[in-house]
Chains A and B, each alone.
Chain A
Amino acid sequence: MSDEDDIETPVLTEATSILEDGNCEPAKNPESVDQSAKPESKSEPVASTRKRPESKPSSDLETSEVLPVQASQAAGKETVSKDVPQSGWGYWGSWGKSLLSSASATVATVGQGISNVIEKAETSLGIPSPSEISTEVQYATGETHAKENETSSPMTGPFGVFSTISTAVQSTGKSVISGGLDALEFIGKKTMDVIAEGDPGFKRTKGLMNRSSTLSQVLREAKEKEELWTSNEVTMETDKKTHYGLLFDEFQGLSHLEALEMLSRESEIKVKSILNSLSGEELETLKQELEQLKEAFSLAEFCEEEEEEKKGDEDFTKEITELFSQLNVSSKPEKLARARNTAYEWIRTSLSKPLEEKEEGEKQLEAEKTAHINKNSIEDIHAFAIRSLAELTAYSIELFHKTAALVLHGRKQEVTAVERSRTLSQMTVMLCKELSSLSKEFTTCLTTAGVKEKADVLNPLITAVFLEASNSASYIQDAFQLLLPVLEISLIENRTELPEA
């Protein structure tokens, strides 16, 4: 044990110092983030071993113990914004906001070593100071604040997952800027496009269907831009592998989303016409019932504090299957569970290889070891991470689409629409959490494998993983919201006392 540490620590220290040197601008941000995390990491560069309890130095244990507390603090702070209503179509707003947060976070960050990226992801709640934010982002953030008056953080309101993710992006972003990377430009462009497109102006009250553009359209456009970009700038197959939008489309996520939108839209039209045909008490009763549904769709459970424990493959499969059976639709989430477990299997292999090797021959030469660690290059890990996120998101949306079809198809139902909504809400939360923890696992892989990489090489990859994870969660939540009209019509059609409209 101690031998391992002796071997490992110098490597890490070296890496850390390189990284900190790499961050050529002095730390400017006055946030608590730095006070809590930086000194710690300076004295003990242990972050990259955090996920490997076998070789944990003592200080690492400290870190881990501290984490839950900090995480709960984080959760506590997030509840500040939990009262922001998410009913109705506010989710468009939240989608935009999540991107805004990511954008501002990405740009506003000030230099930090990657060694503490993971910690930061869980502990920091930093608010980018306006003075550090570029003009563009200042505008964006200002908008966020205007819309979300009492929200003191740049996060996404009730979505704890987002807060975590965007904070992580924040803590990794600085060298992205100093590196002047195309990636950021691309992300930024995409983000700004989406912001422009999905501007949460909140003017459209009953939004989606009256909008000229739908979510799938926005995504399609983003994908097309990527296609354009790839065909213009890069023709190598490898580059294609890391384009989330293209991959998402390849897994048919876009198509399922579009199909779900169609079902949602038709249902909404039906609901409207039924509501229009009613009056007086009848209308009021129905409205009240529909209100219950909307509440179930508000995703309030995101605030629910939950020990973030890592789920085993069986746990995940079991949980998602159970939730699905509660829906009482004849669809099974096998594909999703398989994809998720494959991703974790890959991560396990990726992380365990160097360790096993060490046990066999502790006295191995440094170079040899490094060679082994690098077996999966950071590019490989990044590509696989993006691919997995796109795949899981696509399958999640497929599940939602199938659920919508089956709910509409079902003649009789043993489960009420409200019950189904609650289950779906739980499922959404679960899927988003899953994406969040998966992205953390991937970044752990990245930091482990990229321990010798320069920060401006590694950080953008980490940023990209977190960003796409955040986007993935947004897509899933948006898809979830598309189910509302479907369940509304299902509720209405199952009210025997109402005449069919």
Chain B
Amino acid sequence: MTYAYLFKYIIIGDTGVGKSCLLLQFTDKRFQPVHDLTIGVEFGARMVNIDGKQIKLQIWDTAGQESFRSITRSYYRGAAGALLVYDITRRETFNHLTSWLEDARQHSSSNMVIMLIGNKSDLESRRDVKREEGEAFAREHGLIFMETSAKTACNVEEAFINTAKEIYRKIQQGLFDVHNEANGIKIGPQQCISTSVGSSTSQRNSREVGSNSGCC
């Protein structure tokens, strides 16, 4: 219930790459093969534990359709983390990354942590974008990189959590001004954390953060 920080995430990327599925897998631990097109933005939230601190992730899952682009840009503001998703079986979704990245950088804080995600890693046979290409792109643009499968849940936890870890690290380093909400970080109702973090943590249905499974 109580949390030390709240991080706002956005999930961006072409339509059909699995943004909503990643969110659903992360928040509800389930996979839904058929999804309605997202209108504007949808939301999810979950607690994670970083370094013994409860952190609430508030995730904005944006519409990927090109026609929604100008609207979804409005939602970028105040995000601390972004999951930039492409589909490893569709090269064009990888090719569009630069434009997504530009958008993200332009419309949000410069400190925003961006995680590049090559989704649908379960469809190895239909792979169209090599893992190395993703890694190279991430390196070039200073992003974190992971391949995930929303279907098998592989690396989904890790993608969200590693992003949170990176944000947390930046906070520790003083790179993020946690008091400026434009950075997408909010301090939780902290006064009580020191006293009640133990009880509220155990009580809350916060899921245990899984250790690296390395399944992908």
B203 to chain A, nearest CB (A): 7
A255 an interface residue at 8 Å Cβ cutoff?
Answer: yes
Q: Which residues of A contact B40 (CB under 8 A)?
A: 259, 263, 401-402, 404-406, 409
Interface 1/0 per residue, B11-51 and A, CB below 8 Å: 00000000000000000000000000001110101000000
**Cβ–Cβ contact B60 & A230, under 8 A:** no
Q: B40: nearest residue on chain A (CB-CB)?
A: A405
* A433 on interface, CB distance cutoff 8 Å: no
The answer to whether the Cβ of A228 comes within 8 Å of any Cβ in the partner chain is yes
Q: Give the total number of A-B pairs whose CB atoms are below 8 A apart.
A: 66
In the complex, which of the residues B67, B75, B189, B196 has the most CB atoms of chain A within 10 Å of its own CB atom? Answer: B189
User: By the criterion CB–CB under 8 Å, are A224 and B189 in contact?
Assistant: yes
Distance (Å) between the CB of B182 and the closest chain A CB?
12
Select which of A224, A232, A263, A402 is within 8 A of B196 by beta carbon. Answer: A232
Say how far B76's CB is from chain A's closest CB, in angstroms: 9
Question: At the interface, yes or no: B136 with Cβ under 8 Å from chain A?
Answer: no
**A402 and B58 form a contact (CB under 8 A):** no
State A411–B70 Cα separation when bound (angstroms): 12
In the complex where A231-B1, A252-B43, A406-B39 touch, is A263 in contact with B71 (Cβ < 8 A)? yes
Q: Looking at the complex, which one of B45, B67, B203 makes contact with A237 (CB distance below 8 Å)?
A: B203
Instruction: State whether the Cβ of B99 lies closer than 8 Å to any Cβ in chain A.
Output: no
In the complex, are the beta carbons of A405 and B71 less than 8 A apart?
yes
A240 partner, pick from B1, B41, B68, beta carbons under 8 A:
B1
* Cross-chain contact B203 with A231 (CB below 8 angstroms): no
Contacts of B170 in A (CB 8 A): none
Q: Using an 8 Å CB-CB cutoff, how does the interface string of A335-362 with B read, 1 for contact, 0 for none?
A: 0000000000000000000000000000
Q: How far is the CA of A262 from the CA of B43 in the complex (A)?
A: 15
**B209: CB under 8 A from chain A?**
no
A107 to chain B, nearest CB (A): 27
Shortest CB–CB separation between residue A492 and chain B, in angstroms? 15
Q: How many whole Å from B197's CB to the nearest CB in chain A? A: 9
Q: Which of A231, A266, A330 is the one whose CB lies under 8 Å from B192?
A: A231
* Chain A 302-336 residues near chain B, CB threshold 8 A: 330-331
Does A35 sit within 8 A of B, measured CB to CB?
Answer: no
- 10 further A-B contacts with Cβ under 8 Å, apart from A259-B60, A408-B71, are A228-B192, A231-B1, A231-B200, A235-B196, A235-B200, A262-B74, A263-B40, A263-B71, A402-B39, A405-B71
- Interchain Cβ contacts under 8 Å between A and B, 16 examples: A227-B1, A227-B2, A231-B1, A232-B196, A235-B199, A252-B43, A255-B43, A255-B60, A259-B40, A259-B75, A262-B74, A262-B75, A405-B40, A409-B40, A409-B68, A411-B67
